[in-house]
Structure 1
Amino acid sequence: MAETSRELGRELRKAREEAGLSLSTFAERVRFSKGYLSKVERGQRDVTLGIARAYDRELDAGGALIALVAGRPSRRSKRNAVAMTVGLPPPSPRFVGRARELERIDAFVRGEHDTNACVLSGMAGAGKTALALRGAWNATELFPDGCILVEFGDHSPGVAEVSADDVLDALLRFFGIPARDIPAHRTARAGLYQSRIRRKRLLLVCDDVGTAGQITPLLPAGSGSKLLVTSRNRLNALDDATRLPVEVLPSAEAASLFRAIGGEHARTAADSVVGRVVARCGRLPLALRVAAARFQSSVTWSLDDFDERLADENARLSVLDDGERSVAAAFNLSCQALTGAALRLFGLLALHPARQVEIGSVAALAGTDLVRARRLVDQLSDAHLVTYASADRVTTHDLLRTFARNQVLPCMTEDDRRAATVRLLDHNLLLAAASDAHLDPHRYRTPLALPDPLGAARRFPDHASALAWLHREWPSLVKLCRLAAESGLHEHCWQLASMLRQYFFLTKQWEHWISTQLDAVSAARASGDRQKLAIAVSNLGTAHFDRGDLPVAVDYFQEALGLFRDAEDEHGITTATSHLAWTALYLGEHENALHDLRSVLVSYRRASNTRNAAIALRGIALAETELARYADAVRHAEMARAEFEALDLRLDVAMAVNCTAWAHFHAGNHAEARLRYEEAAALAEKCGSRYETARALTGLGNVHAATGNDAGAAERWAEADATCGPLDPVVVGEARVRAAT
């Protein structure tokens, strides 16, 4: 066995170098900081059993490296196990912000809270220690018997945690009690400790406490002394403690901290580039300090260059490592206390493309039920690895997501990651289908033969709940659609895009509508399914049509028509013909549009497709209005409305009433037009369509203008703009009339 830490470190370095691994690469693999491992290999830090196991495992040494230290006692004996400083080390000279937190610490130490312990908890690197020391320094005059810093976290992998017995022993020695008089039993030690502090005013700063049990015996029985505690965990078992969450810094304070440490070039840099750097550091104080120090020490980087390095998410954590401090190493320590199931979930959360994840998706990723998922999330939340955004939504800090993706997720098998991705997409596809069924209940959908252990298909009791969920979740669904495409899960991608179509039509989010349909088109091409390709191309054309990109829409509709003809799909052919007829209507080809829409109407009625037949009737009414056939237009618009009401399609009803109002306006029936537009505005608002509401309000403004009420017109037009912004005159006749007024 090697006899010294220097010799042990030399053996580890030799084994690593023989394996052809650089220290940087090896540090990333074993999830320890490069600076710490460098000290181990140079003999400046003790070679613990945990370190030996990490080297042995990664270098496939078959136990030989573990044998070097097995049974060798740590340099750290019980007597010197506690790092205790009488008095306080100087606070950071570049402490920034935290005014609210300092006020709460001041209130605590002055006795405004009926507790003797205040727990500052937060994610690794949030600046808890710096905050506690600053708060303690501000309060030194309140504690004439002194301030003591007790460091509970050695941060050396493999070293046992400091126990309450260790701390009580050190404190009793500080009080002048000879070692022979210190009781061996913890209860007796705690009693002696309480007797010695009963009449004292003492402040104990307990830094980086791992568990409540480490400090429970230290809680003062009287009111004179106080414990200021920092921890990466919430220490829930300290029932009566004052709790102070330590979050990341606000943007302005984060920028100030970076400028203060980063030197002259950081202080004079443009706000925009400093803002980007700060954002890439996640406004985490440790990351900001490391980044600023690295930038300040470089003579070649501009801040733009440094920002570009940080922009690479895969390399970001390596940039945030200065050899002595490492954001990744700090995160790794937070992970060490997790159960295997919680650590697995932490890694799997990185598969979700969104920062904020609904608890159902969490359960799907873990492959468990909601109760078990909540328990695991509670563990992660207590360790400040995730945050509850609400009772059912979980957020992970960007740097923690990067850490999980780069250093935790790769420890799982490809099969495990793939299965979790499929479960996640299955669950969200079922939810999207269930919500879309409320928005567009009569549209044909490909049946979903998917497992539903979480009851997603029964999630929404009504239209309102479905719409509320989509309002909240659509950004995640867009990202999941892209994830499915990138993962080669073509069916999931195509289906998700299809389920989002009606929502994006309702909300007029054309950019996201188009992006998801482009993903769907790519997925359909990759799968070789020409039927689904035709549907995706048609949907893509509809998005462009709805946005007013008529020439682009024509190209897609013609492509879709060709694909449907090749597939001999009569329904698809009719739909593509209908889309082309609508496009002709807005391109000014009114007679052609009317002819084709009548043909489409016959086909839909023959197929008993009532909903699409009613849409064709609405198009016919618009074409007849342009051709000054107002009575026919009103009649056909009212027929369409009746069909939509029978189907309980609220948005379509509002559109049909707007169509009726449009025909009356052109016929010069202003009173009737005003009544219809008012009705349409109310119906559209009730079903959640700001677009149709704005169309009705614009129409009302036009009625006012036509009847000489310029003030009323201006008021209604302003209301329309505030509701939805300017409408496109290419596809909204009311906007065209307003522009010409």
Structure 2
Amino acid sequence: MRQTGPIRFRILGSLECWDGDERVHVGGPVNERVLVTLLLEPQRVLPVHRLIEAVWDQDAPATAAHQVRKAVAELRQRIPDGRNLIATDGPGYRASVTLEQLDLLQFTDALQRARDHVAAGRTTEATALLRKALTLWRGPVLSGSGGAVLDAASASLEERRTTAVEQLFELRLEAGESAALIAEIREAIRDNPLREPLRGHLMLALYRSGRQAEALEEYGTIRAVLDEELGIQPGSSLRELHQAILRNDPALNGPAPKAPVAPAVSGGRSTLPYDLRDFTGREEELHKLLGFIEDADGSGPLIVAIDGMGGSGKTSLAVRAAHRLAERYPDAQLHLDLRGYTPDEEPLTPAAAAEALLRMLGVPGERIPDDPQGRIALWRATMIKHRMILLLDNVVDESQVRPLLASPTSTIVLVTSRALLVDLDAAHSISLGTMAPQDSVALIVSIIGDRRAEAEPEAVAELADLSGHLPLALRIAAARLRKRPRWSVRYLVDRLRDDTHRLAELSAGERSVEVTLRLSYEGLDAGYRQSFRLLGQYPGAELDVYTAAALLDCGVREAEDVLEYLLDMHLVQQHEPGRYAFHDLVRSFAHMLSRTRHSGGTGEFSEEAAGAVRRLMEYSLTASDVACDLLFPGRVRMARPTPSFRPELTPLRTPEAARDWFEREQDSLLAAIALAFRRNLDREVALLAANVVFHLDLRGRLDEFLALCHTAVAAARRLGEADLLRLSLSNLAVACWKRGRFEDGIAAAVEAHELAVELGDRRGQAKDTGVLGLLLATTGRFDEALSRLEQSIALKRELGAERAEAESLSNISAVHMERGDFQEAVRTATRSVQLARKIGALEKELVGLGDLAQAQLAMGDAEAAARTLATARERTPGVVAPAERALLLILSAEAEGRLGHRQKVLHWVEEALATKGLEDAPVREATVWNTAGRFFHRCGDHQRALELHRQAHASAARLGHRVEEAYALDGLAQALAALGHTAEAAERADAAHAAFRAMGIPGGIHRGD
């Protein structure tokens, strides 16, 4: 039934005439302009010529008066009771309408009453009236198409509206609002950029919101706009406000905020979950989300999509934001779980979601259409009439959300999803990662209590790490502790360290990290699920697309597509372009899948997983071969097994590129070797370790060098292949020498040499004889060492192994020097440098230059040594290990010191002594300390010399490094004598001479000459 009541007119915007709930069509443009002109001045008689001017401006036709009268007649006929509404009065016509019938009268009345309330001090009532008046405004009269006369009237009304907007903002500022106003004032300024009162309100709102810099910036903006548009400066009021903000004038502070009032039961509907009392962290993301809303413009729904891996706290963030915004969107705050990742449930269809939302708003069931499109249409029609918050939680994809959005609307739509919703047009996006470590700790503390956390701060930090800084895991772990007051934090940490049971530990009631991850995993199609399992075998921190292609047994481009899809699904992470990583708990989940798939839950890894690891090792071996060939020219490879596939390799064309590749991949290569050892891929372990030790040595990571060699030896013994065992033992002997474990090194070198003889491996014999000679020389057994080294050099020369020969020549030069045969020391060191330079082995060349300089210093030729070392220093960065560079620096200081440049080169000494990693290379460390001690002794700082020689002596004696032990004793004797400790000096000198004689070093003190 049609509603009855007076005819209603709306002219603040497009013209509308309503008879109850039916719209009346008043006719064409002439009719509209005549009617609007009359309604603009209700109850006033307008002569026909005024109406003609309003309709046609200056171009009225000869029949204009007739057309106006015809239009009035048609209006009277079309509009119910039109003859009374448009009355003839003398020479013209009058619109006879009441306040109830015309929006213009209502607008004018509300503004007048608001002014009266302001004058009487009733600002609350005035604010309500201004809001009511402004809601009547829909735009310019006749939407700006009425002609010059009507446009002038419309401009006058627009001025009144803008003044009302300014007054409303002023009253709201007086009432204590600030931050909530900023977005609204900015929108008003966008339409009125030259209005100084609006700029002043914005500056004040920004200042009161703690954004003083932005308030001052706003003043600069209006000053520039006024100067450019009008050539004027801001008025006195704005200038005074600017100065007050600059000096933080207390008078600018707003009134204290009023206590919140609970909403009436009959008010807006809310189905939001409760806001977490212990919500922790995510301040940056929350600020960003609220900022999107403050700065919003346009007429469509404001959408903020929050994505992140399962358990990252998406819903908690959205709920907190919704509660913060609830007062600004009073009609309703609705939360709907779209079940995109809910166990044993299908995702809601858009139509089902629309029905649920309509019921939340109280729409009776009988009014909700049965057909899906009808339900969606009714929801969209309802949505545009409300100012509300809509939280669509657990969304599976864009198609689930898009049909639910309507425009224009004042609704805020918050969307949470485990997928990155890239196709949700006009949506702002926030991606949640893991929590910051300090926030993770704070969350645990908020649950278990300060006293318990303060008792075990280190365990709490470790618990946060083992929980992967994932909010869900943190809450579950902390909840377990809260429910078990007798458990220490350390006890739970120890349980979580077992990767095979970690996910089981992170389960409490209905909440489970494993279930959460499984829902994401099962949402993938079969191909992506397999890719996820294969990629999950990777043991390193980050992988690139080439490594991924090997794991997946596919092309690089295809591997990148897979990784990007998993990135969008938040099952992998990305910290830099082109490199991807698994969250620790996600990797644990992938491993769990591999252990249980096809294995009946026995804990054995599937053949699928084993194949991925084999391909990873084959790829790593092939790629590291290329890198080693570039970095270490002249090295000799063992025969490689035929690969099971042809991997695509990272492009490596220069030694610098190879060095960078090793720097990025070194830790991952070590992790891959450890994984392969656990999976019994022993051949791959031994072969890849033989490559990786090169770079570990270059970077001075000697503990890892030694540990890796032990792993390679264990793998080779388990495999039972003598050639791989010989190679691994030989590398172990070198590692033992570098770490000062000489007897262990000698045993490994002897066993390696015996295997080489049994195998008829002459290259192996050559290498192992040389390593044994080096170890014997370090322990002071020079005669044996010289014989071994000469034998090694002869074999290497016969085999054409120039890199290996350069290495042994460098080692034998040191033996010649210690025995006093300086000419031979210089000759062999020079030959070592020449061979290394010939094959491009820069790191060997630099070591040879150091040996040559030591021989030159022993001969007393400091000038030649200084030139040699200057050549070496220019080329050392990034090429030799830190300890080798420290040795070159300290030798440089000794050479220059002998030439009288001691103060000039003191910084070299300090840099050498402070070298990071020197402590891990005890053979070089003792030499550096002894050389530095001699330098300070010559400089007259005998106390510093004494301390350094004592350090060198303690280290060398512990290691059995007899050469440096003897030189340390000699240095101690000289320092003690200079300090006046004659008896102790004599005792130390005797011990030094005895040590030198035992080793056959003539004179025994040539390093100090």
TM over 0.5: yes
Cα distance in 1 for residues equivalent to 2:746 and 2:566: 52
Q: What are the within-5 Å matches in structure 2 for residues 542-691 of structure 1? A: 542-685=734-877, 687=879, 689-691=881-883
Contact 1:430/1:456 (CA < 8 Å) preserved in 2?
no
Residue 704 of structure 2 is aligned to residue 512 of structure 1: yes
Contact 2:390/2:412 (CA < 8 Å) preserved in 1?
yes
Choose which of 313, 318, 323 in structure 2 pairs with 1:132.
318
Q: Per-residue deviation at 1:652?
A: 1.0
Q: CA 1:429–1:674 in 2, change beyond 3 Å: closer, same or farther?
A: same
Residue 334 of structure 2 is aligned to residue 148 of structure 1: yes
Tell me the equivalent position of 1:96. 280
Tell me the equivalent position of 1:75. none
Cα distance in 2 for residues equivalent to 1:723 and 1:184: 78
Aligned length: 658
Cα distance in 2 for residues equivalent to 1:263 and 1:695: 53
Q: What are the within-5 Å matches in structure 2 for residues 461-476 of structure 1? A: 461-476=653-668
682-691 or 248-257, which moves further after superposition?
A: 682-691
Cα distance in 1 for residues equivalent to 2:822 and 2:894: 18
Q: Per-residue deviation at 1:108?
A: 1.6
Residue 574 of structure 2 is aligned to residue 388 of structure 1: yes
Deviation digits for residues 300-357 of structure 1 (CA, Å, limit 9, x no counterpart): 3222222222222222222221222111111111112101111112222332222422
Cα distance in 1 for residues equivalent to 2:514 and 2:649: 40
Residue 605 of structure 2 is aligned to residue 411 of structure 1: no
Deviation digits for residues 533-560 of structure 1 (CA, Å, limit 9, x no counterpart): 1221111001111223222211211222
Tell me the equivalent position of 2:546. 360
Task: Please state whether the residue corresponding to 1:683 is helix, strand or coil.
Answer: coil
| Aligned-residue identity in percent | 26
Residue 373 of structure 2 is aligned to residue 373 of structure 1: no
Deviation digits for residues 375-395 of structure 1 (CA, Å, limit 9, x no counterpart): 222232222111123333221
Cα distance in 1 for residues equivalent to 2:497 and 2:796: 53
Contact 1:510/1:544 (CA < 8 Å) preserved in 2?
no
Cα distance in 1 for residues equivalent to 2:558 and 2:649: 20
Cα distance in 2 for residues equivalent to 1:256 and 1:457: 44
Contact 1:347/1:409 (CA < 8 Å) preserved in 2?
no
Contact 1:117/1:219 (CA < 8 Å) preserved in 2?
no
433-442 or 538-547, which moves further after superposition?
A: 433-442
Cα distance in 2 for residues equivalent to 1:179 and 1:303: 53
Q: CA 1:687–1:310 in 2, change beyond 3 Å: closer, same or farther?
A: closer
Residue 453 of structure 2 is aligned to residue 270 of structure 1: no
Deviation digits for residues 418-448 of structure 1 (CA, Å, limit 9, x no counterpart): 2222112111111111111112232221232
Deviation digits for residues 670-723 of structure 1 (CA, Å, limit 9, x no counterpart): 222222212111122263543433221121222344345443343112223455
Q: CA 1:475–1:113 in 2, change beyond 3 Å: closer, same or farther?
A: farther
Tell me the equivalent position of 1:736. 930
Q: Per-residue deviation at 1:122?
A: 0.8
Tell me the equivalent position of 1:300. 486
Q: Per-residue deviation at 1:208?
A: 1.1
Residue 526 of structure 2 is aligned to residue 333 of structure 1: no
Contact 2:890/2:932 (CA < 8 Å) preserved in 1?
yes
Q: Per-residue deviation at 1:133?
A: 0.9
Residue 908 of structure 2 is aligned to residue 716 of structure 1: yes
Q: Per-residue deviation at 1:254?
A: 0.8
Q: What are the within-5 Å matches in structure 2 for residues 212-361 of structure 1? A: 212-222=398-408, 224-263=410-449, 266-361=452-547
Q: Per-residue deviation at 1:272?
A: 0.3
404-413 or 240-249, which moves further after superposition?
A: 404-413
> Max radius of gyration: which structure?
2
Contact 2:466/2:497 (CA < 8 Å) preserved in 1?
yes
Cα distance in 2 for residues equivalent to 1:614 and 1:159: 71
> What amino acid is aligned across from residue 718 of structure 2 in structure 1?
A
Tell me the equivalent position of 2:974. none
TM-score normalised by the chain length of structure 2: 0.62
Q: CA 1:252–1:113 in 2, change beyond 3 Å: closer, same or farther?
A: farther
Tell me the equivalent position of 1:538. 730
264-273 or 419-428, which moves further after superposition?
A: 264-273
Tell me the equivalent position of 1:165. 351
Tell me the equivalent position of 1:696. 888
578-587 or 85-94, which moves further after superposition?
A: 85-94
> What amino acid is aligned across from residue 405 of structure 1 in structure 2?
H
Q: Per-residue deviation at 1:500?
A: 1.3
Q: Per-residue deviation at 1:402?
A: 1.4
Contact 1:436/1:499 (CA < 8 Å) preserved in 2?
yes
Residue 280 of structure 2 is aligned to residue 86 of structure 1: no
Contact 1:118/1:241 (CA < 8 Å) preserved in 2?
yes
Contact 1:148/1:203 (CA < 8 Å) preserved in 2?
yes
Task: Please state whether the residue corresponding to 1:147 is helix, strand or coil.
Answer: strand
Contact 1:703/1:713 (CA < 8 Å) preserved in 2?
no
Q: CA 1:458–1:148 in 2, change beyond 3 Å: closer, same or farther?
A: closer
Choose which of 284, 291, 304 in structure 2 pairs with 1:107.
291
Q: CA 1:725–1:303 in 2, change beyond 3 Å: closer, same or farther?
A: closer
Deviation digits for residues 548-578 of structure 1 (CA, Å, limit 9, x no counterpart): 3222211211222222233333332232221
Residue 427 of structure 2 is aligned to residue 427 of structure 1: no
465-474 or 512-521, which moves further after superposition?
A: 512-521
Contact 1:386/1:394 (CA < 8 Å) preserved in 2?
yes
Choose which of 282, 303, 318 in structure 2 pairs with 1:117.
303
Cα distance in 1 for residues equivalent to 2:742 and 2:297: 67
Q: Per-residue deviation at 1:408?
A: 5.3
CA RMSD, Structure 1 to Structure 2 (Å): 2.5
Tell me the equivalent position of 1:29. none
> What amino acid is aligned across from residue 361 of structure 1 in structure 2?
T
Cα distance in 1 for residues equivalent to 2:620 and 2:445: 43
Residue 686 of structure 2 is aligned to residue 500 of structure 1: no
Contact 2:456/2:490 (CA < 8 Å) preserved in 1?
no
Contact 2:812/2:828 (CA < 8 Å) preserved in 1?
yes
Q: CA 1:212–1:408 in 2, change beyond 3 Å: closer, same or farther?
A: farther
Tell me the equivalent position of 1:460. 652
Q: CA 1:624–1:426 in 2, change beyond 3 Å: closer, same or farther?
A: same
Cα distance in 1 for residues equivalent to 2:731 and 2:648: 25
**Uncovered stretches (5+) of structure 1, i.e. residues with no partner:** 1-83
Cα distance in 2 for residues equivalent to 1:457 and 1:109: 47
Q: CA 1:188–1:679 in 2, change beyond 3 Å: closer, same or farther?
A: farther
Cα distance in 1 for residues equivalent to 2:679 and 2:532: 20
Contact 2:306/2:430 (CA < 8 Å) preserved in 1?
yes
Contact 1:117/1:227 (CA < 8 Å) preserved in 2?
yes
203-212 or 560-569, which moves further after superposition?
A: 560-569
Q: CA 1:548–1:113 in 2, change beyond 3 Å: closer, same or farther?
A: farther
Deviation digits for residues 130-177 of structure 1 (CA, Å, limit 9, x no counterpart): 111111111223213232112212865332211211222333445565
Q: CA 1:739–1:565 in 2, change beyond 3 Å: closer, same or farther?
A: farther
